[in-house]
Amino acid sequence: MKRSKTMELGVGLFMLAGILGLLFLGMRVSGMAFTTPDDTFRLEANFANIGSLKPRARVTMAGVTVGRVTAIELDTDWYDARVVLELNGELEGELSRDTTAAILTAGLLGEQYIGLTVGGDPDTLADGDTIRDTQSAMVLEELIQQFVSNMVSD
Partner 1 sequence: MIGRIVILGRRGCEVLEALGRAGQFLAQSAVGVPSREGWYLWLRQVHFVGVLSLAIVLVSGLFIGMVLALQGYTLLVDFGAEQALGQMVALSLLRELSPVVAALLFAGRAGSALTAEIGLMKATEQLTSMEMIGVDPLRRIVAPRLWAGFVALPVLTIGFSVVGIYGGYLVGVEWLGVFEGSYWSNMQSSVDFIGDVGNGMVKSLVFALVVTWIAVFQGYDLVPTSEGISRATTRTVVYSSLAVLGLDFVLTALMFGGFS
Q: Between residues 107 and 120, which has the closer beta carbon with respect to partner 1?
A: 107
Task: Count Cβ neighbours within 10 Å for each residue of 51-72 and write b for 16 or more, e otherwise.
Answer: bebeeebbbbbeeeebbbbeee
Minimum distance of partner 1 from residue 55's CB (angstroms):
12
Instruction: Map residues 5-34 to x or -, x wherever contact with partner 1 holds by CB under 8 A.
Output: --xx-xx-xxx-xx--xx-xxx-xxxxx--
Q: Between residues 16 and 148, which has the closer beta carbon with respect to partner 1?
A: 16
Q: Between residues 4 and 150, which has the closer beta carbon with respect to partner 1?
A: 4
Minimum distance of partner 1 from residue 18's CB (angstroms):
3
Minimum distance of partner 1 from residue 35's CB (angstroms):
14
In terms of DSSP bridges, do strands 58-61 and 112-117 run parallel, antiparallel, or are they unpaired? parallel
- 126 binding partner 1? (CB under 8 A): no
- 139 binding partner 1? (CB under 8 A): no
Which of 5, 38, 76, 109 lies at the binding interface for partner 1 (CB under 8 A)?
Answer: 109
In terms of DSSP bridges, do strands 100-105 and 133-135 run parallel, antiparallel, or are they unpaired? parallel
In terms of DSSP bridges, do strands 40-47 and 80-88 run parallel, antiparallel, or are they unpaired? antiparallel
- 3 binding partner 1? (CB under 8 A): yes
Minimum distance of partner 1 from residue 46's CB (angstroms):
27
Binding footprint of partner 1 on the chain (CB under 8 A): 1, 3, 7-8, 10-11, 13-15, 17-18, 21-22, 24-26, 28-32, 109
